[in-house]
């Protein structure tokens, strides 16, 4: 029977509450990778090296050649709500690539062993910080080069309940690889090196060319089967690469869409893509596309929760029509549609 007896209210201790908060920011290794790589991007890195072991459960390492962290700030880096990126709430709404502000490193450090080595441009030496379970354990000076390297070991070692919810190493690796692909695609200007369990998965040239980035991440045979799409209408701008009719997949998984530089899941856009292709493909076969859409930020409701990839447009109809028409135009330019002869 339901008991009316209630416990008194108590404040959770700091360690418990930080573990709970951490669980919202990092649910799985792929989210750690995303947060660390986004930090490297924010730091202005031109080269980012990522390697993971055992699906990220054992080790996640992200090394960048970005600006580094000021030596007097390293203590703050693991504190919740400590950030160099926004100063007031308005700043948060101005940006569309919403991360958890000032929470990622604190959260990761609450549930893993973390080692950071960082150095700024004009410093003679770097700083190494070791932290675990939410606290800094050791800090020392050491030789380094400009940039930051972060190693996260034994994720969720102190939250067994979360650890139990992780999938197999290979499934977690797959999640990480998917996210790494999206991150690399949205930054063709950055050279990424990504490996799992000491095997190189991909390396992108960082030459700013989207097509070179695509080909270095995905199936090389795609080169012969992709063509460019470019269009604009009113507040919408589209560019990217789409597959020819002879190259199809059994799933829609390689229909990768970015809105204002951010990877999103959008059924509206996918519907438009598949509708445009439908007359030319066999039943249950789907094209491959890499589409980058720029939309006036006033026309979308970005889901404010940073972990979400869903996005809501004010006018789905206009968007769908735009994508559909853009694809049809691109098909025509590519002379893919057999001419109907009207004798």
Selected range binding ligand ADP among 59-67, 180-188, 216-224, 312-320, rule: CB under 6 A: 59-67
Other C-beta atoms lying within 10 Å of the C-beta of residue 271: 14
Token couple for 257: 């869409």
Site string for Mg ion, 89-108 (x = CB under 5 A): ----------x----x----
85 binds, among ligand ADP, Mg ion, none (CB under 5 to 8 A by kind): ligand ADP
Q: Looking at beta carbons only, is 38 or 51 nearer to Mg ion?
A: 38
d(CA 9, CA 61): 40
Q: Look at phi and psi of residue 240 and say left if phi exceeds 0, alpha if psi is from -120 to 50, else beta.
A: left
Beta strands in 27-75 (DSSP E): 47-53, 59-64
Whichever of 21 and 275 has its CB closer to ligand ADP, that residue is 21
Among 105, 152, 291, 323, the residue binding ligand ADP under the rule CB under 6 A is 105
Please choose, out of 95-103, 204-212, 220-228, 329-337, the segment that lies near ligand ADP by the rule CB under 6 A: 95-103
Considering only 83, 177, 186, 204, the residue that binds ligand ADP (CB under 6 A) is: 83
CB 176 within 8 A of CB 196: yes
**Which residue reads 């450090």 in tokens?**
109
Among 186, 221, 222, which residue's Cα sits nearest to residue 204?
186
* Site track 12-41 with ligand ADP (rule: CB under 6 A), x = hit: -----------------------x---xx-
- Among all residues, whose Cβ is closest to Mg ion? 104
314 CB-side CA count, 13 A: 8
H or E segment to which residue 201 belongs: strand 199-203
By C-alpha distance, which of 275, 272, 281 is closest to 337? Answer: 281
Q: What radius of gyration do the chain's Cα atoms show?
A: 23
Give the N- to C-terminal CA distance of the chain in Å, as an integer. 82
Q: What residue 148 binds from ligand ADP, Mg ion, none (CB within 5 to 8 A, per partner kind)?
A: ligand ADP
**CA torsion, ordered 107, 109, 115, 119, to nearest 10 deg:** 50
CB nearer ligand ADP, residue 29 or residue 240: 29
| Of the candidate residues 22, 43, 131, 326, the single one contacting ligand ADP (CB under 6 A) | 43
Closer residue to ligand ADP in complex, CB, 77/179: 77
CA–CA separation, 332 and 181 (whole Å): 30
Give the x/- contact pattern for ligand ADP in 122-161, rule: CB under 6 A: --------------------------x-------------
**Binding residue for ligand ADP (CB under 6 A) from 58, 71, 102, 202?**
102
Interaction of residue 66 with ligand ADP, rule CB under 6 A? yes
Query: Among 18, 39, 213, 266, which residue interacts with Mg ion (rule: CB under 5 A)?
Result: 39
- Taken in order 208, 213, 216, 217, is the CA torsion positive or negative? positive
Q: Is 112 in the site for ligand ADP (CB under 6 A)?
A: no
Pick one of Mg ion, ligand ADP, none as the site partner of residue 67 (Cβ within 5 to 8 A by kind).
ligand ADP
Asked if residue 65 binds ligand ADP (CB under 6 A), the reply is: no
Residues in the chain: 343
The residues that touch ligand ADP, with contacts defined as CB under 6 A, are 35, 39-40, 43, 64, 66-69, 77, 83-85, 99, 101-106, 148
The residues that touch Mg ion, with contacts defined as CB under 5 A, are 39, 99, 104
């Amino acid at each position: 029977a339901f008991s009316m007896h209630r416990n008194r209210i108590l404040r959770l201790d700091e360690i418990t509450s930080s573990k709970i908060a951490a669980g919202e920011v990092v649910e799985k290794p792929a989210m750690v990778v995303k947060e660390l790589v986004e930090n490297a991007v924010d730091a202005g890195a031109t080269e980012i090296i990522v390697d993971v072991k055992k699906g990220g459960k054992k080790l996640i390492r992200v090394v960048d050649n970005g600006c580094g962290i000021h030596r007097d700030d390293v203590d703050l880096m693991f504190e919740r709500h400590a950030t160099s990126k926004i100063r007031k709430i308005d700043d948060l709404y101005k940006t569309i690539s919403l991360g958890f502000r000032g929470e990622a490193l604190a959260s990761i450090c609450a549930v893993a062993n973390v080692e950071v080595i960082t150095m700024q441009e004009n410093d003679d030496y770097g700083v190494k910080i070791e932290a675990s379970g939410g606290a800094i354990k050791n800090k020392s000076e050491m030789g380094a080069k400009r940039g930051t390297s972060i190693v996260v070991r034994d994720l969720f070692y102190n939250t067994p309940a979360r650890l139990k919810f992780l999938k197999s190493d290979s499934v977690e690796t797959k999640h990480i690889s998917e996210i790494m692909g999206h991150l690399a695609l949205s930054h063709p200007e950055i050279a990424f090196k990504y490996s799992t369990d000491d095997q190189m998965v991909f390396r992108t040239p960082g030459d700013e060319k989207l097509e070179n980035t695509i080909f270095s991440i995905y199936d090389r045979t795609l080169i012969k089967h992709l063509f460019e799409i470019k269009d604009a209408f009113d507040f919408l701008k589209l560019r990217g690469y789409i597959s020819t009719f002879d190259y199809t997949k059994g799933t829609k998984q390689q229909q990768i869409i970015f809105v204002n530089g951010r990877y999103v899941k959008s059924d509206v856009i996918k519907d438009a893509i598949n509708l445009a292709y439908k007359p030319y493909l066999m039943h249950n076969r789907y094209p491959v596309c890499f589409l980058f859409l720029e939309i006036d930020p006033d026309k979308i409701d970005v889901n404010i929760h940073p972990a979400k990839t869903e996005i809501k447009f004010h006018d789905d109809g206009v968007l769908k029509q735009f994508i559909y028409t853009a694809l049809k135009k691109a098909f025509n330019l590519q002379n893919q549609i057999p001419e109907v002869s009207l004798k």
